[in-house]
């Protein structure tokens, strides 16, 4: 059966990076050495931190839950990535946050598996509810970097017709998804079939960049063998940030996500190719996320490569495995790529479910981005913006903290892709300003919520005091009434007794 392939035309936004503009690792996968110890952060996902289930001294097995997310809270369960002993449960520096709870495990070298997840030889025969529960129990999250809990995203209760499998790696230097599509093709396709079943969706579009020739060939061959007519391939142009969820859905389906709307409002859901493979591994091998593929690259590292690394492995050990730092290394580290990555405070931080790439920039790259001058109103930033915004107007509104205008100009739709910075001839760090504006807006909203809660508390307290005063008044009135009534009753009784006594004495006489 031939596989339907659609070729998507290039959009009129974004940036076309030359293939040799950055250093790329090849598509080989190296399995990183089993670490002696791992640090497992209890929040590796969007939402709340998981609750620790283990304590110092406990023995744990690979895949055993060490952090539990309470029902009805946004988040994901967390699992040990190797077998060994818990040496510490406490606050530590973790990627993406300053401090968070983490479980440290000293490996016993046995890599013994936890038997709690049953492997299934035919997972597609399981019920939709059982599949969804497995994804939740396995703590699977979106592995494209967003880390939204997959079990929650897949729980749409109908209404999603199309699953888009996102293999259109966003950043120019990251190759983990490209490598995954080449080495874990069958797992990825089975994971997609499982997600189709959970969603009760009837089509899956696998988005692959047009310059990922090996992945295109592998996926096409595997899909031909699979002969599942629900699948098709969309070849998307190598334009950054084509892998952004809203951008990809719009390009592939032609459906726009309205401002402020959610991706599934368009009838389509995007899941990363690695998320699909992780779901299949969980169900067929009974393994939750023990490891993930991490690209280690940049001019500051000697031998860029893709590694299969256990969750909790130190970033330093991966950099060493990639040949260590070059002389050009500026000592700066990013998690993610050069465009959207977040700076890491230390190379001692652990790999998490979110770590698709460790980027080590060279000195030259860092010194290029300085000395901003005034905006010359050239409009280049607007021309590349994938969200159809006018970054120069956002910048003006941000300078005066005019939040109404920031909203009006679409601050919420900014995906922080950095395209505007990249093209700005005045070297203005626009994205940083927009991130700052969003944080300020969030802080203002938080303070408003707090003020409104405080005001509601004061109103409730005043109402309670008034109610109590009224109740007291009513009680006093009642007491007075009772006393009066009692006094009246006593006088009546005394009068009666007097009369009765007189009658009785008459009788006795």
- The residues binding ligand SF4 (CB under 6 A) are 375-381, 384-387, 389, 391-392, 395, 414-420, 423-426, 428, 430-431, 434
Least distance between ligand SF4 and beta carbon 21 (Å): 18
- To the nearest 10°, the Cα dihedral for 314, 317, 318, 324? 140
What distance in Å separates the CA atoms of residue 326 and residue 60, rounded to the nearest whole number? Answer: 38
The nearer residue to ligand SF4, 54 or 339, going by C-beta atoms, is 339
In DSSP terms, 358 is beta-bridged to 296, 335
Least distance between ligand SF4 and beta carbon 393 (Å): 9
In DSSP terms, 295 is beta-bridged to 306, 357
Least distance between ligand SF4 and beta carbon 244 (Å): 9
Sign of CA dihedral 283, 351, 113, 179: positive
The nearer residue to ligand SF4, 373 or 495, going by C-beta atoms, is 373
The nearer residue to ligand SF4, 379 or 488, going by C-beta atoms, is 379
List the one residue out of 91, 98, 106 whose CA is nearest residue 42. 91
In DSSP terms, 103 is beta-bridged to 40, 89
Q: Report strand pairing: 291-297 vs 357-359.
A: parallel
62 neighbors 82 (Cβ within 8 angstroms): yes
Q: Which two tokens stand for residue 234?
A: 């969309």
Least distance between ligand SF4 and beta carbon 386 (Å): 6
The nearer residue to ligand SF4, 165 or 417, going by C-beta atoms, is 417
Q: Which two tokens stand for residue 51?
A: 């609750």
The nearer residue to ligand SF4, 205 or 406, going by C-beta atoms, is 406
Least distance between ligand SF4 and beta carbon 340 (Å): 9
Peptide bond preceding 476: is omega within 30 degrees of 0, i.e. cis? no
248 neighbors 166 (Cβ within 8 angstroms): yes
The nearer residue to ligand SF4, 125 or 377, going by C-beta atoms, is 377
210 neighbors 183 (Cβ within 8 angstroms): no
Least distance between ligand SF4 and beta carbon 257 (Å): 14
In DSSP terms, 307 is beta-bridged to 30, 294
The nearer residue to ligand SF4, 347 or 426, going by C-beta atoms, is 426
**Element housing 232 (H / E):** strand 231-236
In DSSP terms, 309 is beta-bridged to 292
Q: Which two tokens stand for residue 137?
A: 């129990």
- Long-range pairs, 245-251, Cβ under 8 A, ≥24: 245/146, 245/166, 245/270, 246/387, 246/415, 247/11, 247/386, 247/415, 248/164, 248/166, 248/168, 248/207, 249/164, 251/8, 251/11
Least distance between ligand SF4 and beta carbon 363 (Å): 25
**Element housing 88 (H / E):** strand 84-94
Least distance between ligand SF4 and beta carbon 385 (Å): 3
C-alpha distance from residue 304 to each of 18, 176, 413 (Å):
18, 12, 34
The nearer residue to ligand SF4, 66 or 174, going by C-beta atoms, is 174
Least distance between ligand SF4 and beta carbon 463 (Å): 46
Cβ contacts of 501 within 8 Å, gap of 6 or more: none
Cβ contacts of 228 within 8 Å, gap of 6 or more: 189, 193
The nearer residue to ligand SF4, 83 or 392, going by C-beta atoms, is 392
Q: Report strand pairing: 78-79 vs 59-60.
A: unpaired
286 neighbors 278 (Cβ within 8 angstroms): no
The nearer residue to ligand SF4, 241 or 350, going by C-beta atoms, is 241
Least distance between ligand SF4 and beta carbon 172 (Å): 15
The nearer residue to ligand SF4, 371 or 506, going by C-beta atoms, is 371
The nearer residue to ligand SF4, 104 or 171, going by C-beta atoms, is 171
Least distance between ligand SF4 and beta carbon 170 (Å): 12
Least distance between ligand SF4 and beta carbon 379 (Å): 5
What distance in Å separates the CA atoms of residue 181 and residue 147, rounded to the nearest whole number? Answer: 19
């Amino acid at each position: 059966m031939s596989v339907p392939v659609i070729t998507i035309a290039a959009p009129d936004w974004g940036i076309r990076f030359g293939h040799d503009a950055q250093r790329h690792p090849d598509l080989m996968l190296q399995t990183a050495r089993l670490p002696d110890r791992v640090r497992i952060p209890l929040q590796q996902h969007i939402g709340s931190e998981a609750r620790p289930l283990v304590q110092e001294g406990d023995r744990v097995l690979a895949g055993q839950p060490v952090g539990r997310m309470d029902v009805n809270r946004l988040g994901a369960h967390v699992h040990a990535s190797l077998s060994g002993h818990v040496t510490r449960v406490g606050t530590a520096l973790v990627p993406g946050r300053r401090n968070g709870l983490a479980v440290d495990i000293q490996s016993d070298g046995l890599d013994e598996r936890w038997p709690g997840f049953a492997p299934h030889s035919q997972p597609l025969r399981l019920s939709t509810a059982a599949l969804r529960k497995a994804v939740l129990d396995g703590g699977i999250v979106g592995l494209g970097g967003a880390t939204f809990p997959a079990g929650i995203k897949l729980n749409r209760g109908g209404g999603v017709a199309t699953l888009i499998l996102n293999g259109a790696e966003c950043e120019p230097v990251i190759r983990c998804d490209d490598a995954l599509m080449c080495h874990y093709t069958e797992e990825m396709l089975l994971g997609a079939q499982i997600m189709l079943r959970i969603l009760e969706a009837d089509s899956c579009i696998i988005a692959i960049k047009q310059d990922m020739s090996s992945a295109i060939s592998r996926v096409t061959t595997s899909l031909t063998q699979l002969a599942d007519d629900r699948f098709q391939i969309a070849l998307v142009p190598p334009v950054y940030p084509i892998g952004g969820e809203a951008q990809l859905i719009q390009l592939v389906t032609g459906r726009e996500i309205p401002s402020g709307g959610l991706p599934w409002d368009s009838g389509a859901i995007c899941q990363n190719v690695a998320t699909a493979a992780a779901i299949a591994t969980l169900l067929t091998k009974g393994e939750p996320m023990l490891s993930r593929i991490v690209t280690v690259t940049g001019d500051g590292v000697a031998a860029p490569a893709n590694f299969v690394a256990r969750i909790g492995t130190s970033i330093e050990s991966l950099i060493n495995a990639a040949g260590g730092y070059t002389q050009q290394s500026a000592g700066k580290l990013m998690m993610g790529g050069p465009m959207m990555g977040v700076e890491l405070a230390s190379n001692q931080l652990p790999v998490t479910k979110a770590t698709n790439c460790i980027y080590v920039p060279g000195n030259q790259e860092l010194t290029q981005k300085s000395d901003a001058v005034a905006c010359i109103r050239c409009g280049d930033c607007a021309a590349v913006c994938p969200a159809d915004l006018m970054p120069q107007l956002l910048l003006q509104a941000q300078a005066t903290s005019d939040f109404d205008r920031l909203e009006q100009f679409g601050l919420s739709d900014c995906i922080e892709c950095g395209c505007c910075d990249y093209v700005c001839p005045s070297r203005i760090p626009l994205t940083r300003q927009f991130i700052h504006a969003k944080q300020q807006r969030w802080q203002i909203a938080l303070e408003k919520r707090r003020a409104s809660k405080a005001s509601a508390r004061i109103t409730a307290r005043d109402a309670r005091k008034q109610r109590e005063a009224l109740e007291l008044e009513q009680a006093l009135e009642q007491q007075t009434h009772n006393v009066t009534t009692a006094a009246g009753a006593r006088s009546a009784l005394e009068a009666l007794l007097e009369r009765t006594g007189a009658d009785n004495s008459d009788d006795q006489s």
